[in-house]
Homo-oligomer: A and B are copies of this chain.
Amino acid sequence: MTSLQVPALSEAGTALCLVCILLVPLSGAGLAIINTGLGRSRSAAHSMLASLCVVAVAALVYFICGFAFQGYLGRPAHILTLAGKGWSWIAAGPLFLQGLKLDGSPDSLAAWLQILSVGLAALIPLGSGADRWRLPAICASTALLAGVTYPVFAHWVWGGGWLAQLGANYGLGRGFVDAGGGSSIQAVGGLTALSIAWIVGPRRGKYSPDGMPTAIPGHNAVQVLLGCVLTLVGWLGLNSAGAILFTGIAPTGTVLVAVNTALSASVAALAAVMITRMRFGKPDASLVANGWVSGLVASSAGCASVTPAAAVFIGLVAGVLITFSVELLEARLAVDDPGGAVSVHAAAGIWGVLALGFVASSGAAGQWLAQLVGIATLLGFVLPLTYGLNWLLDRFLPQRAPLEGERLGMDVYELGASAYPEFVTHTEEFIPR
């Protein structure tokens, strides 16, 4: 119920929230270089250029129509009365942010945060589509995400929509709660990444004829691990701003948010070190990086409502979870996800959302049920929607590069130039066939 009120922000609270949002693009920078570093050198420029395009398209489309569909608490929306209760299904704002005064009001802050965070969601599928996803399709797919999938689900969570109303209407805790976007940013992005991995299929040479996966190592581990720290800084901003705007905590209470975020990432990375060391004999740098990010992802939903000790627990599970999830997807389900995007963002995001239902310190009755309804909506509605949209897109604009593109590398094939023209590389040996 409290979750359905617009926060009353002092000038200092507004300033704090605004500055936190300014840090969010560092998450994008981090995810972009993680994705790129985990990919091949001959697709590196393509991966970075695609990241820039994705961020740009997402911001533009969200500005054009995304916020109109998403809205914010107290703004106009389409209400449908079901079972005697009014449910909000989609916002009914004007296009182009018209009529929204960008003066520091909570709704202007929400719009500005989303212009950036929708780009974050759209960066996620670049991880799973690396080395074979075509740039025109990337841009179009991003437009669908930023214009349809993201705003619709985010309206339900953050815009006063039906998931948020589960508390007031049905007494399920405070309704579906997600402070930093574990569902609306991470899981939406991660499920889109899964759709893309399905649609474009595995990289040539990833699976032997009898279906055994081959390891294709990332081309720059330093970049991947630098990305982790940049991602942390951005996430501290993201979770803090989200907690202020979407759960209504006092702005200075974001100390808790920040501590939880940092601890969750730390423990998740250490868990990945331990697990990979136990299982493979040596820690695996790329899985540790994935573990770190999964800790950030898992922290998002509950960052404002759990204790630091609970955040440690959430991070621990996330770090363990993704090492198995990555292997499950790659070896059993034949999903070739070079960046681990599905595990890191969808699995850990959903875990974080679920964990909030059980360990939130407020402990509102029925909270866990509200969280489960949200997860069911992600799997039962968002996944089919985003898969369907991208499948449809694939009919008109083929998403996967032809064989020649993979052979040449996406850099030369789509951009006409390689990322590192002066360095001598030996990339062919990674392609057995």
Interface residues of A (CB under 8 A from B): 10-16, 18-23, 25-26, 28-29, 32-33, 36, 40-41, 44-45, 48-49, 51-53, 55-57, 59-60, 63, 96-97, 102-104, 108-109, 111-112, 115-116, 135, 217-226, 228-230, 232-233, 236-237, 240, 250-256, 258-259, 262-263, 265-267, 269-270, 273, 280-285, 288-289, 292, 308-309, 312, 411, 414-427, 430
Contact = CB atoms under 8 A, between A and B. Distances in A.
A53 B266 CA distance: 8
A415 to B, nearest CB: 5
A285 B424 contact: no
B222 A44 contact: yes
B415 A59 contact: no
Contacts of A262: 59, 115-116
Contacts of A217: 417, 421
Contact of A48 (B225, B415, B424): B225
Contacts of A265: 56
Given A269-B53, A285-B45, A426-B424, A36 B222 contact: yes
The 5 A-B pairs with the shortest beta carbon distances in the complex, nearest first, are A104-B252, A56-B266, A48-B225, A45-B221, A102-B256
B11 A251 contact: yes
A102 B41 contact: no
Given A16-B19, A49-B283, A52-B288, 11 more contacts: A11-B252, A18-B255, A19-B19, A48-B221, A55-B229, A56-B266, A102-B256, A220-B222, A283-B414, A422-B426, A424-B425
24 contacts: A10-B12, A11-B251, A18-B258, A22-B236, A23-B233, A29-B233, A44-B222, A45-B221, A45-B225, A45-B285, A48-B222, A53-B269, A56-B265, A59-B266, A60-B266, A63-B263, A63-B308, A63-B312, A104-B250, A104-B251, A104-B255, A115-B263, A219-B422, A280-B416
A262 B262 CA distance: 27
A112 B22 contact: no
A222 B223 contact: yes
A416 B112 contact: no
A421 B109 CA distance: 43
Given A53-B269, A115-B259, A415 B12 contact: no
Contacts of A285: 45, 48-49, 415, 417, 419
Contacts of A26: 229, 233
Nearest to A22: B236
Contacts of A11: 10, 12-13, 251-252
Contacts of A240: 22
